[in-house]
Amino acid sequence: MTENKYNGGESRINEIRETIENGKAVLGIEFGSTRIKAVLTDSSHTPIASGDHEWENRLENGIWTYTLDDIWTGLRNSFSRLVADVQEKYGVALTKLGALGFSAMMHGYMAFDQEGNLLVPFRTWRNSTTGPAADALTELFSYNIPQRWSIAHLYQAILNEEEHVPQLAFFTTLAGYIHWQLTGEKVLGIGDASGMFPIDPKTKDFDAEMLRKFDELVEEKQYPWTLKDILPKVLSAGACAGTLTEEGARLLDESGMLQSGTPVCPPEGDAGTGMAATNSVKQRTGNVSAGTSVFAMVVLEQELKKVYPEIDLVTTPDGSLVGMVHANNCTSDLNAWAGLLGEFAECFGIQADKNRLFTVLYEKALEGDSDCGGLLSYGYLSGENITGVSEGRPLFARTPKSRFNLANFMRAHLYSALGALKVGMDILLKEEQVAIDEMLGHGGFFKTKGVGQSILAAAINAPVSVMETAGEGGPWGMALLAAYMLNKAEDESLEAYLETKVFAGNKGTRMEPNPKDVEGFETFADRYRKGIAIERAAIEHLS
């Protein structure tokens, strides 16, 4: 039996083995943009095994999508690899679970007819094709409706007079779809639901007045549905959202060994699991999840004074109001450049380990000038709503006088990965004067110790902490929400559960912003804002 980061000697292994055999382990599975990951936890919320599957969205007929086959193949592969991991580490079969939860990328559009057939290909959050709908609904509701929200996708389909709209019986997010297929329940966690349609914080349900306004808006179409009819039911963290059916167990585990009947918690979005995984569900805290996309979540003390197109208003998994800054692009272009440099090394016969390659390049960035030496990049593989860019054109620019070296090159790309995020965060921090005691970082951007952390601290001029568990990310956060449903005391809040039973004594590694880096990032950000015209010109002239 191999040693691993999860075990701590034979007695510990026996303890974990007993937890698994008794069906008390808790499983969280998250569908990220590039990876589907399953994390199994024990009674102390410690990860004990994992399995994953890499996947990529595809651009088909102008739409970013994943096929149903992509979804189910990925889910089964990640689970089967988890089962293999359990067998290798502990010598037991995973046949039953204490609790289970599914999470996925928020937003997007999965539309179904009365028989449960997918009416159009899954439209992911990455699409920037709903501008007219988003603008019209923002004006109608006096509430920011971003392009990636599910309701914007639906209304754009109505504006486009798409044939499938009258056939609609249900629409949901990716997490809601998976949960529905495995439990039979058309429900959604409130955090994920808040990225479909605005939530009323008082009722912890879809805003009734806005539902009415939408129905009036499309009344002349005489559709055979009202909006409330075709939306999922909203549930807050801690609720039981159904059980794993026999059919669902077979969808998840083709071997037939996994038993049905496991209680399943409300499906959540990746924003909600990020908040759970970083213990940032209380006011004046926040977290930044940085990977293929990047978003910051700040739990607000009060509502914002104005409507900002750059700021989403969503909720924590238990329904508290959150200011969300979401940028479509983060590390994809950065990863592409790292891959190119790795390919260059291979030309010299150097097979650079991927983790080592990223560590060296990230750490090299810390040697660069605080303002990146005048360099500029945009890692836009897709459009970016915050900066008003409709399509993706990754580009790099410099002047003849820029200080062009590897350190500044890498630093510019790390800064750029947070460029759009900073535009939105400046609204919260500088215009709305939102108070943040601490931000917690998680995701691949923070994997190299101290690098992404220091750059985020410079971008937002606030302390940033990274926990050892941050690498587990969303699927671990989903497992925590499932464990909360299973174990919470009567009237025990999610905040209290996380604070006392999960994170007690674990405050992570805290880093204060370096004033010089803060100043340098401000200089870069000014250059970044002015250079958006270059990006727009690239869209116009580079087809």
Taking only the tens place, the pLDDT of each residue in 373-401 is 999 999 999 999 899 998 999 999 999 99
Average pLDDT on 151-160 reads 98
Tell whether the model's pLDDT for residue 362 goes beyond 90: yes
If asked whether residues 435 and 488 sit together in one domain, one would say: yes
Amino acid at 220: E
| CB < 8 Å & 24+ apart, contacts of 157-160 | 157/109, 157/111, 157/120, 158/133, 158/218, 158/221, 159/132, 159/133
Tell whether the model's pLDDT for residue 442 goes beyond 90: no
If asked whether residues 351 and 340 sit together in one domain, one would say: yes
pLDDT in tens, 214-232: 999 999 999 999 999 999 9
CA distance 116 to 111: 9
CA torsion sign, 216 to 222 to 228 to 230?
negative
For residue 505, being part of any structural domain is answered with yes
More confidently predicted of 151 and 470? 151
* Predicted TM-score (pTM) above 0.85: no
How far CA 542 is from CA of 127, 242, 392, in Å, comes to 19, 50, 10
For residue 215, being part of any structural domain is answered with no
Tell whether the model's pLDDT for residue 506 goes beyond 80: no
> How many C-beta atoms lie closer than 10 Å to residue 233's C-beta?
16
Tell whether the model's pLDDT for residue 2 goes beyond 80: no
More confidently predicted of 274 and 92? 92
Query: What is the DSSP track for 72-95?
Result: HHHHHHHHHHHHHHHHHHHS----
Among 180, 173, 169, 188, which Cα is nearest to 247's? 180
pLDDT band per the 50, 70, 90 thresholds, residue 8: low
Who's near 12: CB < 8 A, 6+ residues apart? none
pLDDT at 23: 97
pLDDT at 128: 85
More confidently predicted of 9 and 218? 218
CATH number for position 490: 3.30.420.40
For residue 463, being part of any structural domain is answered with yes
If asked whether residues 323 and 390 sit together in one domain, one would say: no
Per the structure, the complete domain to which residue 536 belongs is given by 332-420+516-541
pLDDT band per the 50, 70, 90 thresholds, residue 329: very high
Query: What is the DSSP track for 351-410?
Result: ---HHHHHHHHHHHHTTS-TTGGG-EEE--SS-BTTTTB-S---EEE--TTS--SHHHHH
If asked whether residues 448 and 509 sit together in one domain, one would say: yes
Tell whether the model's pLDDT for residue 67 goes beyond 90: yes
If asked whether residues 415 and 389 sit together in one domain, one would say: yes
If asked whether residues 355 and 468 sit together in one domain, one would say: no
Average pLDDT on 245-263 reads 97
If asked whether residues 458 and 523 sit together in one domain, one would say: no
For residue 264, being part of any structural domain is answered with no
The answer to whether residues 212 and 139 touch, using CB atoms and an 8 Å cutoff, is no
Average pLDDT on 486-499 reads 96
pLDDT in tens, 10-19: 899 999 999 9
CA distance 217 to 140: 9
Average pLDDT on 262-291 reads 92
pLDDT at 5: 46
Tell whether the model's pLDDT for residue 504 goes beyond 90: no
Average pLDDT on 146-162 reads 97
The total number of structural domains in the chain stands at 2
Phi and psi at residue 61, to the nearest 5°: 55, 40
Tokens encoding 442: 């998680």
Among 14, 80, 25, which Cα is nearest to 47's? 25
pLDDT at 472: 64
Helix%, strand%, coil% for the chain, nearest 5: 40, 20, 40
Q: What is the mean pLDDT of the chain?
A: 94
Residue 9, class by beta-carbon neighbours within 10 Å (0-12 exposed, 13-18 middle, 19+ buried)? exposed
DSSP tag of 437 = S
Helices marked H in 244-376: 246-252, 270-277, 332-347, 354-365
The answer to whether residues 325 and 460 touch, using CB atoms and an 8 Å cutoff, is no
More confidently predicted of 496 and 201? 496
If asked whether residues 524 and 485 sit together in one domain, one would say: no
For residue 347, being part of any structural domain is answered with yes
pLDDT in tens, 18-52: 999 999 999 999 999 899 999 999 999 999 999 99
Tell whether the model's pLDDT for residue 435 goes beyond 50: yes
Phi and psi at residue 235, to the nearest 5°: -130, 145
Tokens encoding 28: 């969280």
DSSP tag of 286 = E
Tell whether the model's pLDDT for residue 79 goes beyond 60: yes
For helices 419-426 and 406-417, the axis angle rounded to 10 degrees is: 50
Average pLDDT on 51-67 reads 95
pLDDT in tens, 460-480: 999 999 887 655 678 999 999
Average pLDDT on 355-360 reads 95
Tokens encoding 533: 């015209």
Average pLDDT on 260-266 reads 98
For residue 59, being part of any structural domain is answered with no
Tell whether the model's pLDDT for residue 1 goes beyond 80: no
pLDDT at 507: 66
If asked whether residues 352 and 495 sit together in one domain, one would say: no
Share of the chain above pLDDT 90, in %: 86
Tell whether the model's pLDDT for residue 509 goes beyond 50: yes
For residue 297, being part of any structural domain is answered with yes
If asked whether residues 526 and 378 sit together in one domain, one would say: yes
User: Which helix (H) or strand (E) element contains residue 41?
Assistant: strand 35-41
CA distance 172 to 233: 10
CA distance 271 to 295: 8
pLDDT in tens, 528-541: 999 999 999 999 99
User: Which helix (H) or strand (E) element contains residue 539?
Assistant: helix 532-541
If asked whether residues 509 and 526 sit together in one domain, one would say: no
pLDDT band per the 50, 70, 90 thresholds, residue 543: confident
Tell whether the model's pLDDT for residue 4 goes beyond 70: no
Tell whether the model's pLDDT for residue 258 goes beyond 90: yes
Least confident of 28-37, 110-119, 302-311, 425-434: 302-311
For residue 174, being part of any structural domain is answered with no
If asked whether residues 482 and 456 sit together in one domain, one would say: yes
Q: Pairing between strand 438-442 and 285-290?
A: parallel
CA distance 66 to 109: 11
Among 220, 215, 262, which Cα is nearest to 240's? 262
